């Protein structure tokens, strides 16, 4: 075996990829732009994970510890990849860390630069997000849930009636994000349960197009929310959010009961989807890997079945840099990307 | 009334039963919900419609077991009240709807709703059940269903396309049935001896059925009690 694996991005996928490369006997250099490892769950102060309702800080903390304490992983925070040349087996990489440039040679690269949450003000004013303080996003609510202090931003009082609007920034041809962001149904349902736990007197409603609770999310999150926590699911997407007194009036259709509806709410949560992060867009350009029409890194390889292969041999992708992904997806991809990246190290030795 | 989730429907809001106070509607719902069977009858609703596709009543009447499960799951108090005074009487209680992937029993919910509607003697319930006083009279007093000779096929499209043909020859067919309790019986569904009748009367009293009848139709109750008590004394 010869050479090292460069991992770009210190979120869940990058961390897991680094751990796996080390477990397989390889050496990794992990480059992270932020001061801290942990990626989006850390930066956005996630409360609980959809997996076993684990505390996010604790779960991600374990992952960080497994990497920072690992002699086979060299962690560089506040660091950015500035230039890459060469090919599989011998990439020359320039890393800038704290104003100092360093050139390293690696055999393979794993891109794990992740996603960003859709900004409801990106294209047009979605549901008056930037106008009404009581219209918030999943990420805004996640922070409040973590602090166990869910209040209406307008008056600091706990909300009694809370609505989630699904598919904000996803599944929208006009917006350009035609894809399903995959996790928002689960996250909204998870948050709805947490809301009912923290505010037992609240009414929580989720307005959706389809509930996409794949696999065990069905019975572990969706059914729990609906049956134990009496979260109301209404099939029908809200067209607009208006002001009514000091409350919000939302308009939509209750499609299965076949009637238009107007409901007042204290708090409206926009279930924002995933878009490629700025880092993902930049690094894709820099590496020359193909991006799909949405800006995510195109994965699949020539046969279409390899979820971690990019258009450039020796460069692999893991996690939400390749498209909407939950933590299971990110971990599965990270493990496979690590195996493929280490395989390059073996091939390099043979060559 | 303040705008709450329970009256969120502008199409029907304040229009259908505005004279019934919200608190009363809620009380009735809570009575349904407090039934020990409720938890087994309702989990959560996908709104998938499998119950409607299996429901014979839904094919002939403006009736949807899905809406029942849905309204109950959402605890939509106003809609539940509408259901309690209208929809539930369109259910044939055949329980085809129990083929529910979530394990719900919409027909069972209808049973609970009916029991609460009757127990509380709702005005609409009395009206609906008026037409059934003859049936109740027959069933409870004679131990019989409506007899075949009372059949009016035009009123029962849900009995199928052959009901006219059956009706035309009913008397002949009945006479041919080789079962003791049915043979030769054309003015009743089957023959009931007086011992069986006395047992039935005892059951009606002991199980509280007579109290329920009293709640919806006192005249019928008086009539039934008079005959029943006489028969029981004779026995």
**Domain B16-120: what homologous superfamily?**
Alpha-helical ferredoxin (1.10.1060.10)
Q: Which of A9-18, A158-167, B122-131 has the lowest mean pLDDT?
A: B122-131
Contact A257 B75 (CB under 8 A): no
Q: Nearest Cα to A164, choosing from A61, A52, A263, A277? A: A263
Q: Nearest Cα to A205, choosing from A152, A144, A250? A: A250
Q: Which residue of A205, A218, A224, A256 to mutate against B (max B Cβ within 10 Å)?
A: A256
Does the pLDDT of residue B2 top 80, yes or no? no
Does the pLDDT of residue B230 top 80, yes or no? yes
Does the pLDDT of residue B8 top 80, yes or no? no
The residue written with tokens 């009858």 in the block is: B41
Q: How many CA atoms lie within 13 A of A51 on its CB side?
A: 10
| Residue B90 to residue A256: CA distance in whole angstroms | 20
A38-93 pLDDT, tens digit each = 999 999 999 999 888 999 999 999 999 999 999 999 999 999 999 999 999 999 99
Q: Nearest Cα to A27, choosing from A89, A80, A71, A84? A: A71
Does the pLDDT of residue B220 top 60, yes or no? yes
DSSP string, A227-277: IIS--EEEES---EEEEETTEEEEEEEETTTTEEEEEEESEEEEEE-EEE-
Coil vs helix vs strand at A137 = strand
Where in chain B are all domains bearing CATH 1.10.1060.10? 16-120
Q: Which residue of B42, B70, B78, B83 to mutate against A (max A Cβ within 10 Å)?
A: B70
Strands A267-272 and A135-137: parallel
Please give, rounded to a whole number of angstroms, the shortest distance from the CA of A320 to a CA of chain B: 30
- Predicted local distance difference test score (pLDDT) of residue B3: 45
Confidence label for B1 from pLDDT (cuts 50, 70 and 90): very low
ipTM score: 0.74
First-to-last C-alpha distance (Å) of chain B? 57
Q: Closest CB to A223: pick one of B10, B44, B79.
A: B44
Pair A46, A2: CB distance under 8 Å: no
Q: What is the pTM of this model?
A: 0.82
Does the pLDDT of residue A123 top 90, yes or no? no
Confidence label for B190 from pLDDT (cuts 50, 70 and 90): confident
Q: If you average pLDDT over residues A298-306, what whole number do you get?
A: 93
Q: If you average pLDDT over residues A164-169, what whole number do you get?
A: 95
């Amino acid at each position: 075996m010869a050479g090292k694996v460069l991992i770009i991005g210190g979120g869940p996928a990058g961390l897991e990829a680094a751990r796996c490369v080390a477990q397989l006997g390889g050496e990794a250099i992990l480059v992270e732009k932020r001061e801290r490892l942990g990626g989006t769950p850390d930066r956005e102060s996630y409360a609980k994970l959809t997996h076993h309702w684990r505390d996010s800080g604790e779960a991600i903390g374990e992952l960080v510890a497994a990497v920072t304490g690992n002699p086979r992983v060299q962690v560089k925070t506040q660091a950015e990849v500035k230039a890459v040349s060469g090919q599989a087996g011998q990439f020359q990489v320039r890393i800038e860390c704290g104003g100092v440039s360093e050139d390293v040679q690696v055999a393979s690269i794993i891109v794990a630069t992740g996603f960003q949450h859709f900004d409801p003000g990106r294209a047009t004013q979605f549901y008056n997000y930037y106008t009404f303080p009581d219209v918030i996003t999943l990420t805004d609510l996640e922070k409040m849930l973590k602090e166990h202090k869910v209040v209406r931003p307008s008056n600091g009082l706990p909300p009694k009636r809370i609505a989630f609007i699904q598919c904000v920034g996803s599944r929208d041809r006009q917006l350009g994000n035609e894809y399903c962001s995959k996790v928002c149904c689960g996250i909204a349902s998870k948050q709805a349960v947490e809301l009912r736990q923290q505010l037992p007197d609240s009414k929580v409603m989720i307005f959706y197009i389809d509930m996409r609770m794949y696999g065990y999310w069905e019975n572990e999150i969706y059914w729990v929310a609906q049956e134990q926590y009496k979260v109301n699911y209404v099939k029908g997407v809200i067209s607009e959010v208006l002001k009514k007194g000091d409350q919000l009036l939302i308009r939509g259709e209750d499609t299965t009961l076949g009637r238009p509806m107007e409901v007042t709410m204290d708090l409206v949560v926009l279930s924002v989807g995933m878009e490629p992060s700025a880092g993902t867009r930049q690094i894709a350009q820099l590496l020359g890997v193909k991006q799909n029409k949405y800006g995510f890194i195109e994965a699949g390889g020539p046969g279409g079945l390899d979820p971690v292969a990019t258009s450039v041999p020796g460069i692999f992708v893991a996690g939400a840099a390749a498209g909407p992904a939950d933590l299971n997806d990110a971990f599965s991809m990270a493990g496979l990307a690590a195996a493929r990246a280490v395989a390059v190290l073996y091939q390099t030795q043979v060559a | 009334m303040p705008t709450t989730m329970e009256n969120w429907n502008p199409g029907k809001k304040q229009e259908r039963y505005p004279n019934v106070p919200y608190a009363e509607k809620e009380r009735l719902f809570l009575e349904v919900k407090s039934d020990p069977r409720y938890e087994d009858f309702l989990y959560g609703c996908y709104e998938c419609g499998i119950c409607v596709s299996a429901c014979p009543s839904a094919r002939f009447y403006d009736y949807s077991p899905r809406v029942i499960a849905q309204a109950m799951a959402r605890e939509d108090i106003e809609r539940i009240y509408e259901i309690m005074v209208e929809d539930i009487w369109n259910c044939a209680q055949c329980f085809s709807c129990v083929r529910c992937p979530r394990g719900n029993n919409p027909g069972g919910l209808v049973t609970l709703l009916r029991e609460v509607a009757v127990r509380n003697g709702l005005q609409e319930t009395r009206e609906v059940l008026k037409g059934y006083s003859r049936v109740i009279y027959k069933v409870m007093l004679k131990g019989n269903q409506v007899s075949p000779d009372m059949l009016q096929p035009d009123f029962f499209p849900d009995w199928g396309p052959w009901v006219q043909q059956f009706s035309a020859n009913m008397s002949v067919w009945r006479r041919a049935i080789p079962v003791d309790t049915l043979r030769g019986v054309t003015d009743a569904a089957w023959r009931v001896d007086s011992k069986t009748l006395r047992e039935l009367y005892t059951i009606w009293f002991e199980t509280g059925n007579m109290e329920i009848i009293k709640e919806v139709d006192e005249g019928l109750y008086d009539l039934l009690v008079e005959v029943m008590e006489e028969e029981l004394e004779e026995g």
